[in-house]
Amino acid sequence: MPSRRWLPLLLAPALLAAPAWAQHTVLQAENVRYEYAQVLRAEPVYQTLHATSMVERCEQSSMVEPGEDERRGLSRVVGAVRDVLTPDRRGEAAASDAEPENCRMVPVEREFRRPIGYDVDYVHRGVKYRSRLPTDPGNRLRVRVSVTPVVSDETP
120-143 pLDDT, tens digit per residue, is 999 999 999 999 999 999 999 999
Q: What residues pair up with 143 in beta bridges, in sequence order? A: 35
Q: Is 82 found in the same domain as 40?
A: no
What pLDDT, on a 0 to 100 scale, did the predictor assign at position 80? 73
For residue 24, is it within any domain?
no
Q: Is 156 found in the same domain as 81?
A: no
> What is the residue range of 130's domain?
29-56+108-156
Region 62-72: mean pLDDT is 55
For residue 8, is it within any domain?
no
The structure's pTM equals 0.47
Region 24-39: mean pLDDT is 84
Please check whether residue 48 is in contact with residue 112, taking contact to mean a CB–CB distance below 8 angstroms: yes
For residue 19, is it within any domain?
no
For residue 2, is it within any domain?
no
For residue 11, is it within any domain?
no
Q: Is 119 found in the same domain as 94?
A: no
pLDDT at 95 exceeding the cut of 80: no
The tally of domains found in the chain comes to 2
The segment with the largest mean pLDDT, out of 10-14, 22-26, 124-128, 151-155, is 124-128
Please check whether residue 130 is in contact with residue 43, taking contact to mean a CB–CB distance below 8 angstroms: no
139 or 102, greater pLDDT: 139
What pLDDT, on a 0 to 100 scale, did the predictor assign at position 22? 54
